[in-house]
Amino acid sequence: METLKLAWKNLWRNRRRTLITLTAMGFSLFLLQTFHNLSFGVYAQMIDSGVRAGSGHIAIYRGDYVKSRDEKLSFTEAGLANRVSALRGVRQALPRIYLPGLAQSSRESRGIMLMGVDPAAESTVNPFWKKLPAEQNIRSLSGRDALVGARLLKELKIGEGSKFVVTVQNRNGELSNELLRVRGVLRTGLKEVDGGMIIVGRERAAAMAGIAGEIHELAIVLDRAEDETRLLPEVWKLTADRPDLRPTPWEAAMPNLSDAIRLDYTSQKFIFVIILLIVTIGVVNTLLMSVMERIREFGVILALGASPGRLRRMVLAEALILGAVSMVLGTLLGCGSTWYLVSRGIDLRNLVPETLEFGGVVFDPVMRAAWDIPWMLQMGLYVIALCLLASIYPAVKAARIAPAEAMRHR
Amino acid sequence: MLVSLAFRNLWRNSRRTLLTLSAMVVSSSLLILALGVFSGMFADMLASATEQYYGHLVISARGYQDDRDMFADFSDYAALAGNLRKRPEVRGVSPRLRAFGLVAHADSTYPAELLGVQPAQEQQVTSFSRQLVAGRYLDETETAGALIGAGLAKKLGVQPGDELVFLTQAADGSIGNDLLTVTGIFETGSGNRDNALVLVNLPWLQKLTVLPDRIHELAITILEPMRAGELAAPLQTNLPAGLEVLTWGQLLPEMQEVIASYNVSRLILVAILYAATGLGILNTIFMSVMERTREFGILMAMGMKPRSVQNLVLLETLAMGVVSMTLGVAAGLAMTLYMERVGVDLSPYLSAVTYAGGTILPRLSAAFEADNVTIPAFALLLVSLAAGYFPARRAARLQPIEAIREE
């Protein structure tokens, strides 16, 4: 305690130096926390819209469908969606069929992906339905209503209400044609969807492929993303009697999205490391200067009978205080900016196109932060640890002083 | 005289100077490296859209790129292509015909996009010939040859030498179908190409779609992709009526905006990193000025003008700035060039990521861009001068008599 008090007094003997060092560290910590929380919020938003349109937080596939996308790997639904929906924390279970095919109008033909869905369930969670008026939604599971990507519609030269033909390969290897009618238009901003997706009722798609009652994917959307780790084993339990079914977390089901986030976060971390490195060098410099200034004083203290260990502890205590104060300052600032970015966000609508796609999801131009308190604390402790690390050399230096020479030092 | 004095002052406390210098060198060199790596990602992303598909400029019938109307075709392109090839900025010009349909092998059928090309010309525009994973590149003499994406080949279960059936709607309304032989398989890393694109010989596709001697587009690559716009404007005025030239930026506006906004994000990054560095410099210089209060007092008492004292301190920071800039740029450039040459393969940990209509490949490489070096370098000088300003002003404002009395 005595040491801490002394260290505190020592720090304020050169107020300006201490303040500048505190500013540098506090400011860096504030930047780190702000940028991390902003990314954390943006990633959460990306994941949320990605899982709703894509595989859900957890998806059930048969075999290695997630890698091979082999249409033969379908499985019977048999009430699985209902049983999964009954689990606590599951918002929606979405059975889906995916069939690559060819869409033909009287003038043009295009390669497409035909998706068979439960429109009522999808429309509550899937962002594809966000801009779709309710009266344009597919009316039944087995009807001819189809939602067609906006660009695809243009390329096929047809409009709402038009008829067109979709050809897919059925389970026997034969081509099957079906006449469909454009019910609504998909405007998602995603190139793959707008330019090549056709959505129909699940039973219609299954009939075309000759796999009645079967699906390729059961996408499970949860109420809270954090529940994923808790629910994955429960979903495994539900499918235990069918060993070829594999519940898959979204990170594995949508590598594009998870890798986009990892890539972005890794480059951010690289910058963080540079900042911390610079700050650490700055702290070493400050502490070293303050030790060198006080050589004479240290000599006197040693001559009065203090042990070198005591000097070492005092320098470490000074570093500890510097670290702790900058942690508090930086975290306060970080909380302030995070609070602002959570409630207001950064509006990039004037800078970023509305259809900017990253990792398979549309990037929301209003970026909002989210609180990642454990991480903020961790970073704060890092800063203290770095300060202590930076003080080792100055502390050792101080303890090695020979009293007689030091007192003669000017 | 002031300059040599400034240098001597810096070396009076060599440890402090070296530590400050090291912070400056670390921040500037790593910043240059980071910017180079980001440029490398953007270069990969741009290449995935241009050199693996569109080209940097595309000449087609007005509106064709909007809806890919099969009938929006044109002929008599030979003279136009010939003239374009003569221009020094142009690397390659490839006439192409496009068709959509189904490819089948054994009992697998998948939708695909077919590009009819002249293999030798296409090779100068796109990089498929350098991204083969099996077989050979297309050859004009093998009329019914097909170069097929790796993902599609895997789904169809075909190897070079296997036969494919292609089925499409022809221009006369009939259903065209014919046999192709796989000559090679390419892999670009971007899913939308690898899973759906097939390159075939132009005459073969013209015959199948009943579009004799006609093409849909001339794809052009140029030496400096960022200057596509400057090239497009004069080109447009010389084009036959009904044709238009589009740049990659017009075809992929999101990507253009992302790349353009890099100029802003680069400045933000520079500002953030240098704010931390600048505070470090400020601290050092302040300390060294405070230590020398007495000395400055004597200098002024001997007749040195306050302005000269201020310049002396500024020169000290400038000297630190110049030294660390030289070292930082050298180290940063060396690391950038190393990454450009060697790079790091990340494919075991990452898959390709789609971004703004392009694909970022799972590798760390760097691309050299002059701005990535000049901006951090000049900013470092500015920051050191700015950090020197307050201590310098303080030194100049000292009162000689009081300063000398200070212990």
Q: Which amino acid is at B190?
A: S
Confidence of residue A19 (pLDDT cuts 50, 70, 90): confident
Same domain, B178 and B78: yes
Contact residues on chain B for A21, CB-CB shorter than 8 A: 279, 283
Contact residues on chain B for A17, CB-CB shorter than 8 A: 283, 286-287
Count how many domains chain B has: 2
Three-class DSSP category at B371: helix
Contact residues on chain B for A281, CB-CB shorter than 8 A: 19-20, 22-23, 26, 280
Residue B325 maps to a domain: yes
Same domain, B67 and B212: yes
Query: What mean pLDDT is predicted for residues B85-101?
Result: 92
Same domain, B226 and B84: yes
Same domain, B203 and B279: no
Q: Which amino acid is at B372?
A: N
Same domain, B145 and B290: no
**A142 interfaces chain B, CB cutoff of 8 Å:** no
Chain-chain contact of A111 with B100 (C-beta, under 8 angstroms): yes
Q: Determine the structural domain holding residue B342 and report its residue range.
A: 2-49+256-405
Contact residues on chain B for A293, CB-CB shorter than 8 A: 291
Cα(A66)–Cα(A75) distance, rounded to whole angstroms?
A: 14
Put simply, the chain A residues between 105 and 134 with a CB less than 8 A from any chain B CB are: 107-112
Of A335-344, B37-46, B246-255, which has the strongest mean pLDDT?
A: A335-344
- Three-point CA angle B123, B339, A257, nearest 5°: 75
Same domain, B24 and B89: no
Tokens of A285: 């410099």
Contact residues on chain A for B259, CB-CB shorter than 8 A: none
Domain ranges of chain A: 2-50+258-408, 57-249
Whether the predicted pLDDT of A3 surpasses 70: yes
The tens digit of pLDDT for each residue in B131-177 reads: 999 999 999 888 999 999 999 999 899 999 999 999 888 888 888 88
Identify the pLDDT of residue B400.
84
Cα(B17)–Cα(B23) distance, rounded to whole angstroms?
A: 10
Q: Which amino acid is at B155?
A: K
Chain-chain contact of A191 with B352 (C-beta, under 8 angstroms): no
Chain-chain contact of B110 with A100 (C-beta, under 8 angstroms): yes
Cα(B380)–Cα(B387) distance, rounded to whole angstroms?
A: 10
Shortest Cα–Cα distance, A261 to chain B (Å) = 9
Contact predicate B353/B369, CB 8 Å? no
Other Cβ atoms less than 10 A from the Cβ of A137: the count is: 17
**A137 interfaces chain B, CB cutoff of 8 Å:** no
Tokens of B171: 């221009």
**A19 interfaces chain B, CB cutoff of 8 Å:** no
The structure tokens 């510097």 sit at: A322
The HSE-up count of residue A272 (CA atoms within 13 Å, CB side) is 18
Smallest CA-to-CA distance from A216 within A114, A322, A307 is with A114
Confidence of residue B240 (pLDDT cuts 50, 70, 90): confident
Chain-chain contact of B273 with A275 (C-beta, under 8 angstroms): yes
Tokens of B318: 């400038």
Same domain, B370 and B295: yes
**B177 interfaces chain A, CB cutoff of 8 Å:** no
Q: What is the mean pLDDT of chain B?
A: 88
Domain's final residue, options B206, B241, B276? B241
Of A27-41, A345-359, A390-404, B11-25, which has the strongest mean pLDDT?
A: A27-41
Domain's final residue, options B215, B241, B267? B241
Query: What mean pLDDT is predicted for residues B21-48?
Result: 89
A interface mutation test: which of B100, B103, B108 has the most A CBs within 10 A? B100
Same domain, B77 and B181: yes
A interface mutation test: which of B31, B45, B102, B349 has the most A CBs within 10 A? B102
Put simply, the chain B residues between 8 and 47 with a CB less than 8 A from any chain A CB are: 13, 15-16, 19-20, 22-23, 26-27, 30-31, 34, 37-38
The tens digit of pLDDT for each residue in B184-201 reads: 999 988 777 888 999 999
Confidence of residue B49 (pLDDT cuts 50, 70, 90): confident
Q: Are strands A163-169 and A90-104 parallel, antiparallel or unpaired?
A: antiparallel
Instruction: Tell me what percent of the residues of chain B surpass a pLDDT of 90.
Output: 37
**What value of ipTM does the predicted structure carry?**
0.81
**B83 interfaces chain A, CB cutoff of 8 Å:** no
Q: Where would I find the beta strands (DSSP E) of A187-324? A: 197-201, 214-215, 217-222, 245-249
Whether the predicted pLDDT of B44 surpasses 90: no
Chain-chain contact of B356 with A23 (C-beta, under 8 angstroms): no
A interface mutation test: which of B346, B355, B359 has the most A CBs within 10 A? B355
The tens digit of pLDDT for each residue in A318-360 reads: 999 999 999 999 999 999 999 999 998 888 887 777 777 887 7
Residue B12 maps to a domain: yes
The structure tokens 């000759």 sit at: A210
* Helices marked H in B50-172: 64-67, 78-86, 119-125, 150-156
Chain-chain contact of A101 with B261 (C-beta, under 8 angstroms): no
Residue B54 maps to a domain: no
Q: Which residues of A216-239 are buried (b: 16+ CB within 10 A; e: fewer)?
A: bbbbbbbeeeebbeebbebbeebb
Chain-chain contact of A192 with B272 (C-beta, under 8 angstroms): no
Torsion angle of the four alpha carbons B41, B47, B49, B53, in this order, in degrees rounded to the nearest 10: -160
Chain-chain contact of B26 with A110 (C-beta, under 8 angstroms): no
- Three-point CA angle B178, B184, B187, nearest 5°: 115
Chain-chain contact of A157 with B69 (C-beta, under 8 angstroms): yes
Identify the pLDDT of residue B117.
94
Whether the predicted pLDDT of A212 surpasses 80: yes
Smallest CA-to-CA distance from B53 within B102, B118, B125 is with B125
The tens digit of pLDDT for each residue in A213-245 reads: 899 999 999 999 889 999 999 999 988 888 899
Same domain, B163 and B283: no
Contact residues on chain B for A173, CB-CB shorter than 8 A: 107-109
Cα(B71)–Cα(A104) distance, rounded to whole angstroms?
A: 15
Q: Which residue is closest to A359 within chain B, CA to CA?
A: B354
**B181 interfaces chain A, CB cutoff of 8 Å:** no
Residue B345 maps to a domain: yes
**B272 interfaces chain A, CB cutoff of 8 Å:** yes
> Phi and psi (nearest 5°) for A390?
-70, -20
Cα(B359)–Cα(B352) distance, rounded to whole angstroms?
A: 6
Contact predicate A146/A198, CB 8 Å? yes
Q: What is the mean pLDDT of chain A?
A: 89
**B337 interfaces chain A, CB cutoff of 8 Å:** no
Identify the pLDDT of residue A217.
93
The structure tokens 């900013």 sit at: B379
Smallest CA-to-CA distance from A184 within A104, A119, A99, A101 is with A119
> Phi and psi (nearest 5°) for A239?
-100, 15
Q: Which residue is closest to B254 within chain A, CA to CA?
A: A356
The tens digit of pLDDT for each residue in A372-389 reads: 999 999 999 988 998 898
**A265 interfaces chain B, CB cutoff of 8 Å:** no
The tens digit of pLDDT for each residue in B258-316 reads: 888 888 888 888 888 888 888 888 888 888 888 888 888 888 888 888 888 899 889 98
Same domain, B136 and B209: yes
Cα(A329)–Cα(B357) distance, rounded to whole angstroms?
A: 42
Smallest CA-to-CA distance from B110 within B197, B184, B201 is with B197
Put simply, the chain B residues between 108 and 137 with a CB less than 8 A from any chain A CB are: 108-113
Same domain, B134 and B42: no
Other Cβ atoms less than 10 A from the Cβ of A119: the count is: 23
Identify the pLDDT of residue A410.
59
Cα(A288)–Cα(A99) distance, rounded to whole angstroms?
A: 68
Residue B250 maps to a domain: no
Non-local (6+) Cβ contacts of A359 within 8 A are A46, A50, A256, A257, A258, A259, A260, A261, B353, B354, B355
Non-local (6+) Cβ contacts of B261 within 8 A are A351, A352
Residue B383 maps to a domain: yes
Identify the pLDDT of residue B407.
60
Non-local (6+) Cβ contacts of A202 within 8 A are A95, A96, A97, A116, A117, A118, A141, A215
Residue B249 maps to a domain: no
Whether the predicted pLDDT of A409 surpasses 80: no
Contact residues on chain B for A28, CB-CB shorter than 8 A: 276
Same domain, B180 and B304: no
The tens digit of pLDDT for each residue in A32-71 reads: 899 999 999 999 988 998 898 888 999 999 988 988 888 8
Q: Which of A102, A108, A256 sits opposite B354 (nearest CB)?
A: A256
Contact predicate B159/B193, CB 8 Å? no
Residue B56 maps to a domain: no
pTM of the predicted structure, to 2 decimals: 0.84
